[in-house]
């Protein structure tokens, strides 16, 4: 986004504080219980905890042209290899053809999810990604029941209508509306969770939900229709399903992180219309007569690829609006104990968020009353304050600050407010042999007569760097 404040070279507020922090002269004078250290010395919690090799910058959803070309080629090669394997198995080992077709159906979804996870691993909780994908898969059974109710037994109302009307209702209601409502449900269930502290992570979870559904659907279609269907769906249907789920994810991210009104019907209807148009073009090809002009037939054939491309471009454009939101390093903060980890039972409390008629204001109030999402909001505000300070600071102020902070680390500070500049920071590295919840005694690098204690978060790993405000 062109109007977004630029990130400094170090990336985040945590990096600036790490650069300004001065290494303590001595650590681990003793390991003690928190109570003992509190009785003897003033004890502080670190304000920033980073692992030794943290991912510092959030990449954009769309990589550079060369990298996009490389990913596209890898995707084409992988799908092509699976298709060749399936073809050889069908020809020479027909008894194992089912396994080969299932492999061809699985690979596209796995590659698309792996692509986003590789780019956004610093902000994505893998357990939450798996739970969101499994939740989307679990909702397929209620979806089938809903489809049966809508169509009244499959051979009921829709089949008795005019073929074009039946195709329209099947495309836009049965496929578009109901399937996109399923993906929306899976994404909205985690919208207000603390661990969703970065909007780009919500796009990854949306990709997981979309591909959880697409994976099951793709397997069923490929087993039923064969090799050619699997190849076509790998390049059209699976990327399209991914884009439609991420469209819902981007609108929900705008609602949470940018405060933009995004009522649930809009979040569902936009991808549903694209989905319905995609399916309707396929149904129309089957319904048109043999006397249809070639140009009309070609136009219908081009609709599905065009909708897929439009959906992907739309996701890329919407994701650009999220670049203004400060990057929060979720995985590092989880290790530091500042953000919770996803667990198998953490999704139980999210049931209320799955109700489609719960208004956003009521939902936000409910979640805040329960004490959820407060830490994520605080981290976002901390990073936003830092971003605003960057915009307000002039080059001269930055130079003066760099000179004033000589000897306090690497001197990579940025324009903070006056109270932040007045603070002094101490850098403590988690030593070998630390135990969860250990308390370290620190000798001040500014005055050897000053000693204080620092609590090590339970999730902090060996070598992690903890920044503490000097007492």
Task: Say whether pLDDT at 355 is over 60.
Answer: no
N-terminal to C-terminal alpha carbon distance within the chain: 40
By the 10 Å C-beta count (0-12 exposed, 13-18 middle, 19+ buried), 449 is classed as: exposed
pLDDT band at 140 (very low <50, low <70, confident <90, very high): confident
* DSSP, res 258: S
Identify the CA nearest to 251 among candidates 327, 321, 189. 321
Which two three-digit tokens encode residue 168? 């329209």
Residue 441: Cβ within 10 Å count: 20
Question: What pLDDT, in 10s, does the model give residues 182-201?
Answer: 899 889 888 888 888 888 99
What does pLDDT average to over the chain?
77
* DSSP, res 106: H
pLDDT band at 61 (very low <50, low <70, confident <90, very high): confident
Task: Say whether pLDDT at 417 is over 60.
Answer: no
Distance CA 183, CA 191 (A): 13
Task: Say whether pLDDT at 344 is over 80.
Answer: no
Return the higher-pLDDT residue of 396 and 327.
327
Largest interatomic CA distance in the chain: 95
Question: Residue 152: what pLDDT?
Answer: 56
Task: Say whether pLDDT at 129 is over 70.
Answer: yes
Distance CA 439, CA 34 (A): 6
Task: Say whether pLDDT at 48 is over 90.
Answer: no
Identify the CA nearest to 245 among candidates 264, 271, 265. 271
Phi, psi of 454 (to 5 degrees): -130, 130
pLDDT band at 203 (very low <50, low <70, confident <90, very high): very high
Contact 195, 341 (CB under 8 A): yes
pLDDT band at 372 (very low <50, low <70, confident <90, very high): low
Cβ partners under 8 Å of residue 235, min gap 6: 79
Question: Residue 429: what pLDDT?
Answer: 82
Return the higher-pLDDT residue of 35 and 42.
42
Question: Residue 420: what pLDDT?
Answer: 41
Average pLDDT of the segment spanning 227-235: 93
* β pairing state of 465-469 and 22-23: unpaired
Beta bridge partners of 76: none
Question: Residue 41: what pLDDT?
Answer: 84
The residue to which tokens 């404040």 are assigned: 5
Question: Residue 239: what pLDDT?
Answer: 95
By the 10 Å C-beta count (0-12 exposed, 13-18 middle, 19+ buried), 429 is classed as: middle
Average pLDDT of the segment spanning 237-249: 95
Question: Residue 123: what pLDDT?
Answer: 86
Share of residues in the chain with pLDDT > 90 (%): 28
Question: Residue 107: what pLDDT?
Answer: 94
Task: Say whether pLDDT at 108 is over 90.
Answer: yes
Contact 161, 184 (CB under 8 A): no
Which two three-digit tokens encode residue 391? 């915009």
pLDDT band at 382 (very low <50, low <70, confident <90, very high): low
pLDDT band at 57 (very low <50, low <70, confident <90, very high): low
Residues making up the chain, counted from first to last: 471
Question: Residue 395: what pLDDT?
Answer: 43
Cβ partners under 8 Å of residue 337, min gap 6: 49, 457, 458, 459, 460
Lowest mean pLDDT among 56-70, 108-122, 136-150, 437-451: 56-70
Element (H, E) at 22: strand 22-23
Task: Say whether pLDDT at 406 is over 50.
Answer: no
CA angle 198, 134, 258 (to 5 degrees): 20
Which two three-digit tokens encode residue 438? 């250990």
Distance CA 194, CA 377 (A): 8
Question: Residue 274: what pLDDT?
Answer: 96
Task: Say whether pLDDT at 47 is over 50.
Answer: yes
pTM recorded for the entire structure: 0.72
Cβ partners under 8 Å of residue 420, min gap 6: 389
Return the higher-pLDDT residue of 109 and 373.
109
Question: Residue 371: what pLDDT?
Answer: 59
Cβ partners under 8 Å of residue 189, min gap 6: 132, 135, 347, 350, 351, 353, 354
Lowest mean pLDDT among 202-206, 319-323, 333-337: 333-337
Helical H segments across 393-464, by residue range: 395-404, 418-422
């Amino acid at each position: 986004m062109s109007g977004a404040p630029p990130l400094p070279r170090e990336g985040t507020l945590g990096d600036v504080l790490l650069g300004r922090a001065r290494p303590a002269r001595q650590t681990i004078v003793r390991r003690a219980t928190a109570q003992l250290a509190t009785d003897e010395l003033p004890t502080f919690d670190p304000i920033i905890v980073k692992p030794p090799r943290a991912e510092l910058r959030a990449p954009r959803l769309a990589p550079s042209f060369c990298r996009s070309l490389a990913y596209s080629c890898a995707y084409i090669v992988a799908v092509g290899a699976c298709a060749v394997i399936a073809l050889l198995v069908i020809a020479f080992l027909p008894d194992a053809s089912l396994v080969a077709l299932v492999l061809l159906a699985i690979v596209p979804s796995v590659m698309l999810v792996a692509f986003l996870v590789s780019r956004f691993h610093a902000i994505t909780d893998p357990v939450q990604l798996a739970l969101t994908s499994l939740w989307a898969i679990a909702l397929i059974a209620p979806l089938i029941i809903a489809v049966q109710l809508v169509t009244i037994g499959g051979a009921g109302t829709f089949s008795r209508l005019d073929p074009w009307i039946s195709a329209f209702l099947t495309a836009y209601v049965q496929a578009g509306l109901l399937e996109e409502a399923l993906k929306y449900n899976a994404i909205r269930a985690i919208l207000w969770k603390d661990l969703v502290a970065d909007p780009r992570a919500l796009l990854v979870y949306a990709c997981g939900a979309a591909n959880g559904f697409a994976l099951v659907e793709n397997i069923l279609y490929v087993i039923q229709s064969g090799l050619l269907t699997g190849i076509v769906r790998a390049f059209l249907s699976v990327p399209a399903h991914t884009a439609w789920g991420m469209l819902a994810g981007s609108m929900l991210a705008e609602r949470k992180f940018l405060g933009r009104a995004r009522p649930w019907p809009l979040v569902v209807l936009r991808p549903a219309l694209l989905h319905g148009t995609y399916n309707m073009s396929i149904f129309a090809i089957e319904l048109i007569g043999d006397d249809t002009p070639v140009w009309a037939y070609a136009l219908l054939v081009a609709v599905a690829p065009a909708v897929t491309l439009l959906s992907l471009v739309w996701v890329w454009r919407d994701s650009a609006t999220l670049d203004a939101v400060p990057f929060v390093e979720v995985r590092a903060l989880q290790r530091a104990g500042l953000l919770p980890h996803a667990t198998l039972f953490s999704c139980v409390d999210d049931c209320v968020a799955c109700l489609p008629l719960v208004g956003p204001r009521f939902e936000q109030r409910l979640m805040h009353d329960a004490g959820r999402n407060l830490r994520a909001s605080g981290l976002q505000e901390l990073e936003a304050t830092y971003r605003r300070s960057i915009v307000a600071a002039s080059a001269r102020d930055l130079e003066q600050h760099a000179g004033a902070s000589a000897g306090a680390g690497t001197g990579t500070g940025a324009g903070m407010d006056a109270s932040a500049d007045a603070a002094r920071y101490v850098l403590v590295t988690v030593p070998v042999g630390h135990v969860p919840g250990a308390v370290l005694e620190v000798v001040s690098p500014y005055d050897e007569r000053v000693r204080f204690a620092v609590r090590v978060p339970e999730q902090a790993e060996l070598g992690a760097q903890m920044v503490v405000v000097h007492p």
